[in-house]
Amino acid sequence: MENFIPFCHPEIELHSAVTAPGGATYHGHDGVRRWYQDLADGWGGDLRIEPEAYFDLGDDTVTFHVLHGRGHQSGADVAMPAAHVCRWSDGRMVYFRGYSDRDEALRELTASGKRLKRIVP
């Protein structure tokens, strides 16, 4: 996690779809650390992200991926398609929103009139 922090703006706004029922919002570097801890608490140490596609929209990027993990409480193996939308400024992430519904992520972006350009992982 500490290797990820330098890529985040000190005032980053992070919205997670998987750390709490209905999602959760985190702010700043300490918020990113709390988000990571909340992920570990909910998913155990087995959380893995398998990237499928990246899209470049200038200051925004979109990642389609599959979250693989094991429910901390249930012990059940999970493979969940998901998406991340990130906004960048001066090489740092200022906004991050995770989606458990990829179409919802695309609706947010296409509503702004931006066109997706796929980057092969």
Predicted local distance difference test score (pLDDT) of residue 86: 94
Total domains in the fold of the chain: 1
Average pLDDT over residues 5-14: 97
CATH number at residue 106: 3.10.450.50
| 85 alpha carbon, distance to own chain's centre | 7
Q: What percent of the chain has pLDDT over 70?
A: 89
Q: What percent of the chain has pLDDT over 90?
A: 41
The per-residue pLDDT for range 48-84, each reduced to its tens digit, is: 889 998 888 888 888 999 988 877 677 788 898 999 9
Rounded to two decimals, the pTM is: 0.83
* Host domain of residue 111: 5-119
Residue 16 to residue 47: CA distance in whole angstroms: 15
